[in-house]
Amino acid sequence: MATDKKILLITGGNTGLGLEAVKALVQSQVAYEIIIGCRTISKGEDAIAELKKQFPQTSSTLSTVQVDLESDELLEKAVAEISSKYGRLDILINNSGASFDYEILQGKMTMREGFNASWNVNVTGTHILTTLAVPLLLKSSDPRLIFIASGTATLTETEKSDNPASKRINSSPPAGWPKEVIGMQTTSYRSAKTGLNMLMREWRRILLNDGVKVWAVSPGFLATGLGGVGLEKLKQMGALDPAIGGHFLKDVVEGKRDHDEGKVIRRDMIQPW
């Protein structure tokens, strides 16, 4: 289907940061063909129905496709569907991610299961989807590839404890074993997200001569369902409205951070490695 609209696939676009990014994009003066990737099609359809009610005047078009980062078969099917329908992809936002640290802590997953799941979803599945989607991105006149990073993943800032947020993730527990859990338990998640930073740099290297602009976007500490902590507790800890992250993503899509391409970016700075 030929279209002049920018064709954008965002994984996990039916909830949290992804949904807020879609909300920001449908309010743009730019017309998009927004494809919401989600594991359960009905959830994507429900999100689209609500978006159409909330933004009836949008010039953008919304659809959904099944994307499960733990299933190669479904990823291949999703990209084939986009290829058949549109023939290209202008923007890929790898937004889907997951944290399993609390499942490990609560005994719902073994340590190996939790770590493997974290890397499988946040890094391996994201890499496979990107690999499948690149041929479609190369057919765009302005291809953009975005990975969602985390402020917890910066190696440079692991020694910081000068504010409540850094204390929660960087403070050391008292001597002895087993260790008391203090602050937020994020070991598997932040390790995988640090790996994602390298994945972004690898894709930037691989696609440098193809004109694909690549970023990792670190949206900040947002009140989303990630990690199973609960929205109210997150807000008490200082988490921000995810709409802030959604508008940040829109700015990157629309060229406001092109001068920081190839970096991990925050709203107000480049995130240190």
Greatest Cα pair distance in the chain: 64
Residue type for position 2: A
How would you classify the pairing of strands 144-148 and 61-66? unpaired
Beta bridge partners of 264: 216
Residue labelled with tokens 């073994």: 110
**Is-catalytic flag, 189?**
yes
Distance (Å) of CA 225 to CA 16, 96, 234, 239, 271: 7, 12, 9, 11, 23
Of the candidates 150, 188, 191, 218, the residue annotated as catalytic is 150
Of the candidates 193, 213, 250, 263, the residue annotated as catalytic is 193
| Cβ count within 10 A of residue 228 | 14
Question: Distance (Å, rounded) from C-alpha 18 to C-alpha 255?
Answer: 18
3-state secondary structure 50-105: HHHHHCCCCCCEEEEEECCCCCHHHHHHHHHHHHHHHCCCCEEEECCCCCCHHHHH
Of the candidates 86, 189, 213, 250, the residue annotated as catalytic is 189
Question: What is the Cα gyration radius of the chain?
Answer: 18
Question: Distance (Å, rounded) from C-alpha 27 to C-alpha 250?
Answer: 10
Question: Distance (Å, rounded) from C-alpha 140 to C-alpha 196?
Answer: 24
Name residues whose C-beta falls within 8 Å of residue 66's C-beta, 6 or more positions apart in sequence: 37, 38, 39, 40, 41, 74, 77, 78
Task: Give catalytic residue positions.
Answer: 150, 189, 193
